[in-house]
Amino acid sequence: MTTAPDDRTPIDPSDAAPSREPQLVEGDCTIPLSADVDPSAWPEPVQALAHAPGSGVRPTRLAELTTLRVGGPVGSYVEATTQSELTEAIREADAAGTPVLVVGGGSNIMASDAGFDGLVIRDARAEVSLVSDSMCGGVEVTATAGTTWDDLVCEAIASQWAGFAPLSGIPGTVGAAPVQNIGAYGAEVAELIASVRAWDRLRNRVVWLALGELGLAYRDSRLKQSLTDAEAGGGRLWGPTGRWVVLDATFAVRQGSLSSRVAYSQLAGALGVELGERVPERELREAVLELRRSKGMVLDDADHDTWSAGSFFTNPILTTAEAERLPADAPRFPVTDHSQVVLGTKEAPVVEGLVKTSAAWLIDHAGFTKGFTVEAGAPAGLSTKHVLALTNRGGATGADLARLRDTVVAGVRERYGITLVPEPVQVGF
């Protein structure tokens, strides 16, 4: 078992090479993290990750790198298998004034047909390590940014690192998790994460960002804001990849096989328990995956409902006065502030005067049904299982998806006066 040093001093990537010890597990989540067995005894998927993190195939179009399967030509391309390869590629591109797009799983990108005339970097580093198990009833675990998120969830369940199960099945990589503050079924990564180590493009160095410095909010963070906000980016705009490029993330969680309290009514119903109860993490994961499959939210090449970027629009956050103008049956949820997280418990206080509503409810009640297309036979449409997902029905272009996006946004705005905000990074639009 790999133990990482407990040194939080910012380091230069040239100071130490990252561990090459493979530690991912197969999808059944039954094998705990262990490097005490011969690699030949590991499952085949783990061996593949150990010996060849990258496929060696150079993509020519962004469509090959995104789950929406749209996007035009790729300019230059680098697949980084070490931290130094990743940071040097970014440093050189920034010095030359070349735009940079760092790609993980490609599940949160909507790319235009014009493609990306810059450097596309795929982070192929997939490693998980135990930092410390000396916490009172807890552990600290670090995963590189290129690690597939659901592989980390599987590892956590097998090793009894509690709290990850509600986030099962979310596509993408660890690097995107703190940028988006990914969440599902009543949980957010803000409740698990302790710190992020990132490459700061402004300062050209590796930095540590503690939980309180990440500015985590609903599907938002200081990292994400630096894409489009010059103030957050240190005085400049950075484009589709922000000022801070995540290198790895450290999670502080409790040790145990039981989940956190079930906080989502649909999930509680699927489990046959009351809200607030705890269940085995493995059972919670299976229930979450079943719910996600029913909505087309688990990637499946044969199912066009999964040719998507997941939930395409964020749930709008409204003032109390704005929320009062919605119909009485419109969903209303509290808004929490993770920038004011309570130390020791990671509980975030509720923000007074703000209300979150459901983007899916707004879309549905604005007249957009499951399977909606702008015109008959259009190759882009809403999922047949869930109106919040925009999907490629086969052969769609970025322009087709953009037309569908704009149609839905305009319809909801006309009906409710609310402008929906896309969650995926928009490249080339």
Instruction: Respond yes or no: is residue 311 known to be catalytic.
Output: yes
| Options 219, 222, 285, 405, the catalytic residue | 219
Distances (CA, A) of 214 to 179, 190, 220, 221, 271: 9, 9, 9, 6, 33
| Options 129, 195, 260, 311, the catalytic residue | 311
What number of other Cβ atoms are within 10 A of residue 419's Cβ?
A: 11
Is the Cα torsion angle 166, 168, 171, 176 positive or negative in sign? positive
Burial 139-156, CB ≥16 within 10 A → b, else e: bbbbbbbbbbbbbbbbbb
Question: Residue 235 region, left (φ>0) first, then alpha (ψ -120 to 50), else beta?
Answer: left
- What is the largest distance, in Å, between two alpha-carbon atoms of the chain? 63
| Options 79, 155, 188, 423, the catalytic residue | 423
Enumerate residues 6+ apart whose C-beta is below 8 A from 203: none
Instruction: Respond yes or no: is residue 107 known to be catalytic.
Output: no
CA–CA dist 170, 423 (Å, integer) = 14
Instruction: Tell me if 134 sits within 8 A of 248, measured CB to CB.
Output: no
CA–CA dist 257, 270 (Å, integer) = 19
Enumerate residues 6+ apart whose C-beta is below 8 A from 400: 70, 378, 379, 380, 392
Instruction: Respond yes or no: is residue 423 known to be catalytic.
Output: yes
Task: Return the axis-axis angle of helices 281-294 and 149-158, rounded to nearest 10°.
Answer: 150
Instruction: Tell me if 129 sits within 8 A of 19, measured CB to CB.
Output: yes
CA–CA dist 17, 20 (Å, integer) = 9
Active site residue ranges = 219, 311, 423
